[in-house]
């Protein structure tokens, strides 16, 4: 986390920012309303000064941690939330989900020094539309805000590279799984899975099959272990997709 506005430069950073999505640059009738969230007041002030020079961008508020950011987002309903990842009380990634709940139209850009892949993936899963490292230039911050407001996703080049590497790994893992025959479930496990698919809970399944509730739990656990899945719903979707089970 930067102690000041120092890491951001006025000159071109060289690497640029990777954009994904529709072309940006469509004319806007009103300024883009931005909420700045960072636990360093000096950094927040630096961002405000830089963005104040942009006629089409208006900083409408600031917050020093994720909890305050959620409250400010609910009150101000900003177009863009520019937020750090790691802050006291409540971090930016955790705040993402809550901000999307209280201000659904707000788009979130993480502006951070964290180049950890886990933070990038968690931020995207939590609803962030952009992930920028604080080493980018001040001009690129304004450009990224405009692009995200117009529907693009913005990721710093080094992080985009890590994301592409992870996508390739995911595809490879999927291909490898396809080469492995689907695990064989017992007749009883198929019976339990079919009843799970109808929405029955463990108690109802136990009554239907005349077995104990603990036995049902064991069957469900065995099903998930065999299919290498984490939830009952995932098991049902997997079974239908692989034609292990057909629901009519």
Residue 101 is part of a domain; what is its CATH number?
A: 3.40.50.2300
Question: Residue 111 is part of which domain span?
Answer: 18-162
Band (134; pLDDT cuts 50, 70, 90)? confident
For residue 10, the model assigns a pLDDT of: 41
Q: What is the pTM of this model?
A: 0.57
Q: Is residue 223 part of a domain?
A: yes
Q: Helix 117-126 and helix 92-102: axis angle, to 10°?
A: 10
Query: What pLDDT is attached to residue 26?
Result: 41
Query: How many separate domains does the chain show?
Result: 2
| 146-191 per-position pLDDT tens digit | 989 988 878 877 776 666 666 566 556 555 555 555 678 888 998 8
The strand pairing partners of 191, in sequence order, are none
The yes-or-no verdict on residue 46 having pLDDT over 60 is yes
What's residue 119's pLDDT?
81
In this prediction, residues 123-147 reach a mean pLDDT of 86
pLDDT at 16: 60
Whether pLDDT at 6 is above 50: no
Domain of 211: which CATH number? 1.10.10.10
pLDDT tens digits, 198-236 = 778 888 899 999 999 999 999 999 988 888 887 777 777
With respect to residue 178, please indicate whether it lies within any of the assigned structural domains. no
Percentage of residues in the chain with pLDDT exceeding 90? 38
The verdict on 104 and 194 lying in the same domain is: no
Token output for 123: 């931020």
Q: Return the pLDDT at 152.
A: 82
Same domain, 80 and 143: yes
How does DSSP assign 214-237, residue by residue? HHHHHHHHHHHHHHT-SSHHHHHH
What is the spatial order of strands in the sheet that 18-20 belongs to?
18-20, 153-155, 128-133, 107-112, 80-83, 32-37, 57-63
Is residue 240 scored above 90 in pLDDT? no
Same domain, 66 and 148: yes
Q: Does residue 5 lie in a domain region?
A: no
- Is residue 12 a part of any domain in this protein? no
User: Do 208 and 102 share a structural domain?
Assistant: no
Residue 59 included in any domain: yes
134 shares a domain with 71: yes
- Claim to verify: residue 150 and residue 31 sit in the same structural domain: yes
């Amino acid at each position: 986390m930067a102690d000041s506005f120092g890491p951001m430069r006025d000159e071109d950073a060289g690497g640029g920012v990777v954009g994904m999505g529709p072309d940006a640059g469509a004319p806007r009738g009103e300024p883009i309303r931005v909420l700045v969230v960072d636990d360093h007041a000096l950094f927040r002030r630096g961002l405000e000064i830089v963005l104040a020079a942009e006629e089409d961008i208006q900083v409408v508020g600031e917050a020093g941690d994720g909890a305050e950011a959620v409250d400010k987002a609910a009150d101000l309903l900003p177009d863009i939330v520019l937020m750090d990842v790691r802050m006291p009380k409540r971090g930016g990634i955790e705040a993402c989900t809550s901000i999307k709940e209280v201000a659904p139209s707000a788009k979130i850009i993480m502006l951070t020094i964290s180049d950890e892949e886990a933070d990038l993936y968690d931020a995207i899963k939590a609803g962030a539309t952009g992930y920028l490292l604080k080493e980018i230039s001040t001009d690129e911050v304004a450009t990224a805000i405009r692009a995200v407001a117009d529907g693009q996703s913005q990721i710093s080049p080094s992080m985009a590279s890590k994301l592409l590497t992870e996508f390739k790994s995911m595809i490879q893992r999927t291909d490898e799984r396809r080469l492995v025959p689907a695990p064989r479930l017992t007749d009883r496990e198929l019976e339990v899975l079919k009843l799970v698919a109808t929405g029955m809970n463990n108690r109802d399944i136990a009554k239907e099959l005349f077995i104990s509730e603990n036995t049902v739990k064991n069957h469900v656990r065995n099903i998930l272990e065999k299919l290498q899945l984490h939830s009952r719903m995932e098991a049902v979707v997997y079974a239908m997709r692989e034609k292990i089970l057909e629901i009519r």
